[in-house]
Structure 1
């Protein structure tokens, strides 16, 4: 097996895909406006991400698990995502996604978008309904950065051979850990902290930056 030349790690919601999955799930509970406002505050870095996620997941309590299929059908891949992942693979790279969203959605959409490995939160279920609690460790900013470092070690890649792409405050540690941190469709504080800002909402803009 040929050794990887580089690693690209993306956030999922509003980066790999155009949607915020927790907001689509909140639609099923009739609480989208409430959850959307809390998500935006968390992405701007105004509140602690883990605490905010727990609060937003509580709003999903009682949503039936068959909602996952309806949500997956509504997911909109970000323009250019398949072209980007194909370009990464063509150049000998690996694509990872680390998300504050949920495995219940990402497990179904990531392979079709060319993602090689991914990590996200899991939702607890009781009697075929969401319990309103996150199962296990929350994927927050620290876990995102740790995931990038872990995958780079597994692939025997140095830091300078990694690229991180994100939009929210919880992506900043991951972007700082990478050799190149790209702000994509990003909040102002993320744009200020990134090595480069990708303007158009099309991931093909990243391709010229690949090694």
Structure 2
């Protein structure tokens, strides 16, 4: 058994879930500025996540669900998942985004498991609060080590892939570290760099 761990937003899904939610709710410009600063490592991930989610307070839950059920995925996403499973990989997604989006993605792409954050809601609307397993810049690395221990899979049999600063904490625990259309800060730490927006490019490295 081998392990492949993916970021979700801007790695499997073409965009940032929170940006798409903000667009649907009329808060796009406000949120995208914070997102850009966070992904470039200019803001602490935890604080930027809280600030972005706060802008969604009052958003109707049905609008959240509708948006998440219509996320755009990068070309080749389904083919990559099939190729990984054919080579006996367990495929896991770690997302600093939200369960609402990643759960919808699982139905489309068929990965094995995911860990993410959850948008808090009450009386059918978002409260502007968030909690979960991926709240901090170091969360993905810590969770990767736990999953490896649980499955008895070592670094030599692990591939990780992401695009943003909060993905870098995974890199010390994997033999193959892939920057997919990544920010400059991610490319500095990755040992495989793919800049073409086609996930079929990854198949050659598995």
Q: Give the TM interval when normalised to the shorter protein.
A: over 0.9
CA RMSD in angstroms comes to 1.3
Kindly state the Cα deviation for residue 199 of structure 1 after the two structures are TM-superposed: 2.1
CA distance in structure 2 between the partners assigned to 1:187 and 1:90 by the alignment: 30
Counterpart for residue 80 of structure 1? 76
CA distance in structure 2 between the partners assigned to 1:200 and 1:135 by the alignment: 33
The reply on whether 1:41 has 2:37 as its aligned counterpart is: yes
Is the contact between residue 22 and residue 31 of structure 2 (CA under 8 Å) also seen in structure 1?
yes
CA distance in structure 1 between the partners assigned to 2:99 and 2:81 by the alignment: 20
Q: 1:94 to 1:138 in 2, by over 3 A?
A: closer
The reply on whether 1:62 has 2:58 as its aligned counterpart is: yes
CA distance in structure 1 between the partners assigned to 2:105 and 2:134 by the alignment: 20
* Aligned counterpart in structure 2 of residue 50 of structure 1, from 42, 46, 49: 46
CA distance in structure 2 between the partners assigned to 1:145 and 1:137 by the alignment: 11
Matches within 5 A, 1:179-198: 179-198=175-194
CA distance in structure 2 between the partners assigned to 1:23 and 1:15 by the alignment: 14
CA distance in structure 1 between the partners assigned to 2:45 and 2:138 by the alignment: 11
TM-score norm. by structure 1 comes to 0.93
Runs of 4+ in 1 over 2 A off after TM superposition: 135-141
Matches within 5 A, 1:1-20: 4=1, 6-20=2-16
Counterpart for residue 26 of structure 2? 30
Counterpart for residue 132 of structure 1? 128
Q: Which runs of 5+ in 1 are unaligned?
A: none
The reply on whether 1:94 has 2:90 as its aligned counterpart is: yes
SS of aligned partner of 2:78: helix
CA distance in structure 2 between the partners assigned to 1:7 and 1:138 by the alignment: 19
Counterpart for residue 121 of structure 1? 117
SS of aligned partner of 2:66: helix
CA distance in structure 2 between the partners assigned to 1:107 and 1:126 by the alignment: 20
Q: How many pairs align?
A: 206
